[in-house]
Amino acid sequence: MRLLLTACATTALVVAGPLTATAAGQAPQGPVGGDLLTAKPTVVANGAAPPAVQASAYVVADVDTGQVLAAKAPHAQLRPASTLKTLTALVLLPRLKKTDPVVGSDADAGIIGSKVGVYPGLHYTVDQLFQGMFLASGNDAVHALCAHDQGGVPATIQRMNAKAKDLGALDTHVTDPTGLDADGQYSSAYDLALFAQAGLTRQDFATYASTKYTNFPNAGNKGTYQVANQNKLLFNYDGALGVKTGYTTLARNTFIGAARRNGHTLVVTMMNAPHGITEDASNLLTWTFTNYGKLKPVGTLVKPAVAPPKTQPEGKPAAKPGSGTAGRPQARTALNPGQAVQSLALRVPGWAYAAPPVLLLGLFLRRPRALRRRRH
């Protein structure tokens, strides 16, 4: 009897465990993108030895094929700094109309960190603020854009976390859309590559990311001043497509760069680098382009969970106030055969697993009563 009860309890725990883990939204078993793509600080490449770089983590991938061609600690969860603005852009770009006017506020101007120069009472367009966000990494521009969208900064954070999950970026958690060193905020070199891949499929994202110079409104409506893109790759690497740089004291240098040569579009992401990040990015890109024919993939950039829904007209929210995540497609990840069997098992209600042991237990419990009747 004790053995049977122990077996029943063990079965219930084994079944309930995955159900709890799945309900909590935990990641599928195994590293996303392939077994070689772990958080370990080892370099993974097949076909040629990549150049040494100073970043604690990096990924080099083909944007078009999704093949990861070299990596180092790609899933290490690190502070993203302003490279997180790529995810902010992925959320805001389809929601905001570029010609909409936005009036700068004290909250915009008072934000800490890098700024493009958003002044209280001055009028801007959404387009200008996106330029300030990409080129100057303006936290003030990010705050103004978030405040202009429905729900403000808190809603943008929620949408960013949901977008990360939809893209398969399970290493990412957002608490501040500017990328500042906020508690509980982290991402990975792998996830940054996913953001870049998704962004470069949008013409507006790609245009902002590759713009070298823009003119930004000056205070007091006194003309404009020139703003240069902080991504030096755009100015000294042939075929560069830009994307985004980042730096904070705790994150140190972070980087997303992309370039197109010989019919291939590559993205390189780096995190926690002390210095020389543009040179290291250039070396990784050149090495990959040079050895492209003999490199074998060491992993893949996962595809988005589902096809994106029909786009809403610009400037209109995708959901009604208070609807939360209702109507948002749920994330789906490609499963290997073992995971597929587990997934099928998890679809069976928990009571269905508990019923057979309970019925068997009832049979055993009835037997002693019958024996007692015979003794009387």
Residue 56 belongs to some domain of the structure: yes
Pick from 255, 283, 300: which residue ends a domain? 300
Q: Does residue 11 register a pLDDT over 90?
A: no
Q: Per residue in 185-208, pLDDT tens?
A: 999 999 999 999 999 999 999 999
pLDDT of residue 30: 82
- Same domain membership, residue 61 and residue 16: no
Q: Does residue 373 register a pLDDT over 50?
A: no
Residue 78 belongs to some domain of the structure: yes
What residue numbers does the annotated binding site for substrate cover? 244
Hey, is 297 helix, strand or coil?
Answer: coil
Range of the domain at 264: 43-300
In whole angstroms, give the CA distance from residue 79 to residue 250.
7
As a whole number, mean pLDDT of residues 355-363 equals 43
- Same domain membership, residue 64 and residue 11: no
Q: Does residue 61 register a pLDDT over 80?
A: yes
197: alpha, beta or left? (left if phi > 0; alpha if psi -120 to 50): alpha
Establish whether 137 is a catalytic residue.
yes
Residue 289 belongs to some domain of the structure: yes
Q: Does residue 10 register a pLDDT over 70?
A: no
pLDDT of residue 219: 86
Catalytic-labelled residue, pool 72, 114, 115, 137: 137
- Same domain membership, residue 281 and residue 256: yes
> Which amino acid makes up residue 96?
L
As a whole number, mean pLDDT of residues 94-122 equals 97
Q: Residue 76: CB partners within 8 Å, gap ≥ 6?
A: 39, 41, 56, 57, 188, 189, 271
Establish whether 82 is a catalytic residue.
yes
Residue 39 and residue 32 in contact, taking contact as beta carbons nearer than 8 Å: no
- Same domain membership, residue 117 and residue 82: yes
- Same domain membership, residue 193 and residue 259: yes
pLDDT of residue 29: 63
As a whole number, mean pLDDT of residues 67-71 equals 98
- Same domain membership, residue 152 and residue 256: yes
- Same domain membership, residue 69 and residue 23: no
Pick from 300, 329, 351: which residue ends a domain? 300
- Same domain membership, residue 146 and residue 61: yes
In whole angstroms, give the CA distance from residue 269 to residue 277.
10
- Same domain membership, residue 346 and residue 201: no
**C-alpha 85 chain-centroid distance:** 11
Q: Per residue in 218-261, pLDDT tens?
A: 987 789 999 999 999 999 999 999 999 999 999 999 999 999 99
Residue 204 belongs to some domain of the structure: yes
Q: Per residue in 308-339, pLDDT tens?
A: 444 444 444 433 333 333 332 333 333 333 33
> Which amino acid makes up residue 14?
V
Residue 165 belongs to some domain of the structure: yes
pLDDT of residue 318: 39
Hey, is 186 helix, strand or coil?
Answer: strand
- Same domain membership, residue 197 and residue 174: yes
The count of domains in the chain is 2
Pick from 274, 300, 326: which residue ends a domain? 300
- Same domain membership, residue 215 and residue 76: yes
Q: What are the phi and psi torsion angles at 273 (to 5°)?
A: -110, 140
Residue 28 and residue 170 in contact, taking contact as beta carbons nearer than 8 Å: no
